[in-house]
Structure 1
Amino acid sequence: MTHDNRRADRSDDQGPQADIEELARLLPAPAPEELPRAQHLLRKEQLMRQMDRAPDRDGAAARRPRPTRRLPRPALLLPLTALALAGVITAGVTLTPSDDTPATATASPNARPAVALLDRISLAAAAEDAPTVREDQFAYTRAKVRGADLTSGKAVVGPLVESETWLAQRPGPLRKLGLRKENGESFALNAELGDTDGTPAGFGRPTYQWLASLPTDPDDLLTYLYAGTPAVDGQERDQAVFDRIGALLGELMPPKTAAALYRAAARIPGVTEAPAARDALGRHGVGIARDDTTFHTRTEWVFDRDDLTFLGARSRLTEDTPYGEKGTLMSGTAILAHAVVDKAGQVPTAARES
């Protein structure tokens, strides 16, 4: 029986549906849909992780992306900068994600005002004067911080603590990263756990020169951030990158890098405007926020209403959880001063008088 006869027999037996199925079989497969940008970056990040695990030409495994900086006192989280607390809060306690958490975030209907605000913030940051920072100097930051202690199973919010930090600017690797003083008590900042040869400049130790080396094109910078940002299990990739940017905002950095970070943040789905934002001191400003649907927290970055400088950040629960009721404060930061000094422990005059 010929091919045409077989088609005729099928058509007689099964009707038009058989012809439709036959035509569908003969047509070429449809072209795959273009991935959304966030999904594309996620796929690229997964591919880069596989490449990192592959042996190099000498047979040694490539180094994986570094985790964010570990804070020196695990009993109570006192962030140096505007560290967004999506996953780890204090004492190594990790918030538990809900079982029905969506895998990715969707763009908010308020995204357009947020993009416009971040564009203004970026322009203001780019107009700032760039300081001169030598590798033998220290970046000084003075801040007021507070955090929630979860060791009891409930969020117990501590008092405001004054924090002064001196971060060494040598590229490293360094075993002694600098000095921190909290309420007058000083202690050394040491290399990250596992860095037996010292911690190099990078996400774990963001020196001024390392920050200056980051891409200044926002799309390239966002790709770099997605590729180098590990996420807490169950956390959205978009949230992890938002948190990574937030962890850098309180650092002393080149104006062009700050401008690029704000423009990159504007491209993250789910970023919204927060008109009533305020920092750990209660200073009101304009804000940028994102809700972490995995851990039910909302993190706000706060900027001065007049000159749009970064003031600090605050994170609160967005739902009732075992750790506390909706609205419970999880962390707060207020940046008071930045400076460059010649040695750890030296307090610049402007910071001393403020």
Structure 2
Amino acid sequence: MGMSTDEITTFRAARPEATPYDPGARARLRARLIQESTAVPHARPLRSWTVSRRIMAVGALTAALVAGITVVQNIDLSGRPTGGHAAPGESRRPLLLGPVANAEDLAQAAAQQAAAEPDVRPRPDQWSYAKTVLAMSSKGTGGSLFGPPDRRLTVEQWRRADGKQSAAIENGKLEIHDLGSLELSASPRSDYPYLLSLPDDADALLDHVYKVVDEESGGEKESEQERADRAFQIIEVYMRDSALPSKLRAAMYGALAKIPGVRYEGKAADIQGRPGVTLYRIVEGYLRSEIIVNPKTYEYMGFRFIAVKNHVSAGLDMSLHTKKGQILGWGGLIKAAVVDKPGQRA
């Protein structure tokens, strides 16, 4: 079953306490909601539930712009591949590299793959196209999934390489919106010109990410554990919804491998059941934050947040009770490409 929905209406339904929006600012709010959908949980206990609510379910809803919602029943949550879906970049010819056994091996293999192919970067007038599938729950989505991830939201968005415009399908029609400073105020930034400006050297990139972490803290002293948690999450945000140059993507894997506590798992599946490998880190002691990677092309396939033990996050407005095994957020990048105009998919 499919349907079309308005993202502002969806946001209001999920967050009735939110301040009503100014109809004249509709386009600006839409773009801001896209930015907020890429936020990740921060490791400050008093804010963790409030921020997590913004990132996981509400963010997933509002990021959709006006995408179609597909309801999926009886999905397999075991992580076993279900087949029938090609991973991003699957048609590209992979290098014959040695076995990957850890995060460092993955980063090195991705760097070798990137060095063997042209580092394609878009012209300012071209667009980044991304198609994403996000999990929702029939039990509710008030900041995390209140039940099993048994529904799916498909999102298609285009972002101009010079950062001046974005586009999405709204009520069956392609709508293009001019962007302004409001859309660039999210933290961490993930607008396309910013992503393309990031260094494609792993050490330099990680230094940059830690500077972002420290700026976000506003001078508040954070532990090395908290800084590492946030650095991992920020890099995952960078990878989510864009067609990234292969050398930059390889640098991101290299930076991830240098973050303390990052682990590798050689068997995984994304939200579509496509086989992959996983880089993950245990965030705040209970939340396994995963980045799923195509093991042949090293392209980003998606993310997942899953609780590894029972946990209570105390917030300013309410507390979030999380059970071991509960999936709090889940999404997959189905396709990413550089195209010549909005509405184009390949």
TM-score by length of structure 1 reads 0.59
Q: Which residue matches 1:34?
A: none
Q: Which residue matches 1:90?
A: 53
Q: Which amino acid aligns with 1:216?
A: D
Please say if residues 168 and 174 of structure 2, whose CA atoms lie closer than 8 Å, have aligned partners that are also in contact: yes
Deviation of residue 242 (structure 1)? 0.6
1:317 is aligned, of 298, 307, 311, to 307
Q: Which residue matches 1:223?
A: 207
Deviation of residue 285 (structure 1)? 1.4
1:270 aligns with 2:255: no
Q: Which residue matches 1:335?
A: 333
User: 1:65-97 CA distances to partner (integer Å, 9 max, x unpaired)?
Assistant: xxxx953498xx6x6xxx755553334799xxx
1:254 is aligned, of 245, 251, 254, to 245
The alpha-carbon distance between structure 1 residues 185 and 276, as it changes in their structure 2 partners (threshold 3 A), is farther
The alpha-carbon distance between structure 1 residues 153 and 256, as it changes in their structure 2 partners (threshold 3 A), is closer
2:132 is aligned, of 128, 134, 143, to 143
**Aligned residues with identical type, % of pairs:** 26
CA distance in 1, matches of 2:292, 2:210: 23
Q: Which residue matches 1:54?
A: none
Deviation of residue 227 (structure 1)? 0.6
Q: Which residue matches 1:71?
A: 33
CA distance in 1, matches of 2:166, 2:233: 23
The alpha-carbon distance between structure 1 residues 158 and 291, as it changes in their structure 2 partners (threshold 3 A), is same
2:184 is aligned, of 173, 181, 199, to 199
Please say if residues 53 and 144 of structure 2, whose CA atoms lie closer than 8 Å, have aligned partners that are also in contact: no
Deviation of residue 274 (structure 1)? 1.9
State the SS of the aligned residue for 1:116.
helix
Deviation of residue 318 (structure 1)? 1.7
Structure number with greater Rg is: 1
- What value does the CA root-mean-square deviation take over the aligned residues? 3.7
The alpha-carbon distance between structure 1 residues 319 and 183, as it changes in their structure 2 partners (threshold 3 A), is farther
1:288 aligns with 2:288: no
CA distance in 2, matches of 1:73, 1:116: 32
Q: Which residue matches 1:164?
A: 156
The alpha-carbon distance between structure 1 residues 70 and 323, as it changes in their structure 2 partners (threshold 3 A), is farther
Structure 1 portions without partners, runs of 5+: 1-68, 95-111, 349-354
CA distance in 1, matches of 2:166, 2:283: 32
Deviation of residue 288 (structure 1)? 0.6
CA distance in 2, matches of 1:203, 1:153: 20
Q: Which residue matches 1:180?
A: 168
Structure 1 stretches of 4+ moved >6 Å: 185-190, 232-235
Q: Which amino acid aligns with 1:119?
A: Q
The alpha-carbon distance between structure 1 residues 319 and 248, as it changes in their structure 2 partners (threshold 3 A), is same
CA distance in 1, matches of 2:154, 2:125: 26
TM-score by length of structure 2 reads 0.60
Please say if residues 139 and 168 of structure 1, whose CA atoms lie closer than 8 Å, have aligned partners that are also in contact: yes
CA distance in 2, matches of 1:225, 1:122: 19
Q: Which amino acid aligns with 2:322?
A: G
The alpha-carbon distance between structure 1 residues 201 and 268, as it changes in their structure 2 partners (threshold 3 A), is same
Deviation of residue 120 (structure 1)? 2.1
